[in-house]
Chain A
Amino acid sequence: EVQLVETGGGLIQPGGSLRLSCAASGLTVSSNYMSWVRQAPGKGLEWVSVIYSGGNTYYADSVKGRFTISRDNSKNTLYLQMNSLRAEDTAVYYCARLLSSGSPYYCYYMDVWGKGTTVTVSS
């Protein structure tokens, strides 16, 4: 069974740093496209970041320069390093796998999600 488990959330003061982890089972993180998505309290889903199997990474404008996505192949784990945290970063953070629909469109979609970890940025 494919499973993603996020950890590392908690209460952090503005300006602080936190690293989220997403441990995978049933899939190989390094061979897949992996993403982070967040949801602020009472709000909709916001895409945060993606890392491709080749190593390319992309970020939402709201976190660019502050967040870093990475992976540890030996631990089969995805990470999100979050620096210079702000109140508006308060959210549940989900990791998800991106899968391709294949020919002809190669449309990427998030087929497996973790249950999320909660980050609260407050003094």
Chain B
Amino acid sequence: DIQMTQSPSSLSASVGDRVTITCRASQTISSYLNWYQQKPGKAPKLLIYAASSLQSGVPSRFSGSGSGTDFTLTISSLQPEDFATYYCQQSYSTAMYTFGQGTKLEIK
């Protein structure tokens, strides 16, 4: 089974900061990597798919990069509405769509 590990598990940052979240796969997954944002009490929202493609309607301050086993989600300039939990998910194995454990982004 493919395991997904995110780092850090939590992060404190200020409005306007540049933030990077990392996701590592236990085996190579090419570019089969998606990122989601979840706010408390809400369903997850798709941000990035196929490692670097921005979902329609998502602000351009969000970007994704990486391939193989190492991936990053970058928020170029944090906005108040970006404080949430972020999850990566692999879709290389279409028999098991594993999520990372999540990264909670909090206000400093």
Q: Which residues of A are interface residues toward B (Cβ below 8 A)?
A: 35, 37, 44-47, 50, 58, 60-61, 94, 98, 101, 105, 107-111, 113-116
| Other 20 A-B pairs with CB < 8 A, given A45-B36, A45-B99 | A37-B99, A44-B85, A44-B87, A44-B99, A44-B101, A47-B89, A47-B96, A47-B99, A50-B94, A50-B95, A94-B43, A94-B44, A98-B91, A105-B50, A107-B34, A108-B94, A109-B46, A109-B89, A113-B43, A113-B45
A67 smallest CB distance to B (angstroms): 14
The complex places the Cα of A120 from the Cα of B25 at a distance, in Å, of 32
Q: Which residues of A contact B101 (CB under 8 A)?
A: 44
Q: Which residues of B are interface residues toward A (Cβ below 8 A)?
A: 1, 30-34, 36, 38, 42-46, 49-51, 53, 55, 85, 87, 89, 91, 94-102
Q: Which residues of A contact B91 (CB under 8 A)?
A: 98, 107-109
Nearest chain A residue, comparing its CB with the CB of B38: A45
Q: Which residues of B contact A116 (CB under 8 A)?
A: 43
Q: Offer 27 A-B interface pairs, CB within 8 angstroms, sorted by A.
A: A45-B38, A45-B44, A45-B102, A47-B89, A47-B96, A47-B97, A47-B99, A50-B95, A94-B44, A98-B97, A101-B50, A101-B53, A105-B31, A105-B50, A107-B33, A107-B50, A107-B51, A108-B94, A109-B50, A110-B36, A110-B46, A110-B89, A110-B97, A111-B46, A111-B49, A113-B45, A115-B43
The complex places the Cα of A46 from the Cα of B87 at a distance, in Å, of 11
The complex places the Cα of A37 from the Cα of B100 at a distance, in Å, of 13
The complex places the Cα of A108 from the Cα of B29 at a distance, in Å, of 13
Cross-chain pair count, CB within 8 angstroms: 75
The complex places the Cα of A97 from the Cα of B104 at a distance, in Å, of 25
**Most A CB within 10 A of own CB, among B30, B87, B99:** B99
Structural contact, A60 and B96, CB atoms closer than 8 A: yes
